[in-house]
Amino acid sequence: MSEKGYTLNPLTTLKAGKKADFRFTVTDAGGEPVTDYQVQHDKKMHFIVVSRDLDTFQHVHPEMAADGVWSVPLTLESAGAYRAFADFAPTGGEALTLGADLLVAGDHEPKPLPEETRTSTVDGYEVKLDGDLAAGSTGKLTLTVSKDGKPVTDLEPYLGAYGHLVALRAGDLAYLHVHPDGEPGDGKTKPGPEIVFYAEAPSAGGYRLFLDFQHEGKVRTADFTLRTGPATGAPTPDAEPTGHGEHSH
């Protein structure tokens, strides 16, 4: 909720299933709302809301009023606990992600973490995840998008990239920073079907991954579950791929 003197302050309590303007501020060490932000991926504020059981995910872009109050229309469909993440960089400072719990009153049945899932289907698109998250080292993740069995080769740039990946650790919702490999217009990054990311897992465990991608004018989200093995602290003896990334069709 607080880091480097900056604090995320939710100002709105939401009711289950009711759309409302969710408002919040980021305050500085002096308690004043921050009003100057750097643009990252086309936006000054990236706001992510997940249910505590990592079943639901929303990535939205609030608008800021002159007094530093951010607001965004938000609906949390069911009662329960949620975590909000504000991903931003204050002008003159480094990028930060602050998190806060949002509680929605009512009965709630938490879902268990899904089994490892490497294929996600959304709106007729199939997205396949190859590669692994590794504890303590950077792993390459390749997401391949297809529609009706055909590779999608005309993904559209969304916020300066062909895909945005958010990874969260089950158990405490640690937020992983994931960096795309290349960007639209750099002369080498193709608009699909593959989107490549590099990510490091802070520990062994279960992770949920959410990929936002845009095609035919609409942004969709594909979701995955990965489990990482324990950190070995040493390279594995055989340098050959162990088959983690291979899948039969």
Total chain residues near Cu ion (CB under 5 A):
1
Residue nearest to Cu ion (CB): 46
Shortest Cβ distance from residue 43 to Cu ion (Å)?
5
Give the binding range for Cu ion (CB under 5 A) out of 40-48, 70-78, 101-109, 141-149.
Answer: 40-48
Nearer of residues 72 and 143 to Cu ion, judged by Cβ:
72
* Residue whose pair of structure tokens reads 């919702």 in the numeric block: 173
Shortest Cβ distance from residue 42 to Cu ion (Å)?
8
Shortest Cβ distance from residue 178 to Cu ion (Å)?
12
User: Out of 22, 44, 46, 195, which residue is the one contacting Cu ion (CB under 5 A)?
Assistant: 46
Nearest-angstrom CA–CA distance, 10 and 110: 23
Question: Could you tell me the strand order of the sheet in which 218-228 lies?
Answer: 175-176, 164-169, 205-215, 218-228
> 226-246: b or e for each residue (b if 16 or more CB lie within 10 Å)?
bebeeeeeeeeeeeeeeeeee
Cα distance between the two ends of the chain: 44
Nearer of residues 23 and 43 to Cu ion, judged by Cβ:
43
Nearest-angstrom CA–CA distance, 235 and 137: 10
Nearer of residues 100 and 103 to Cu ion, judged by Cβ:
100
Q: What are the residues binding Cu ion (CB under 5 A)? A: 46
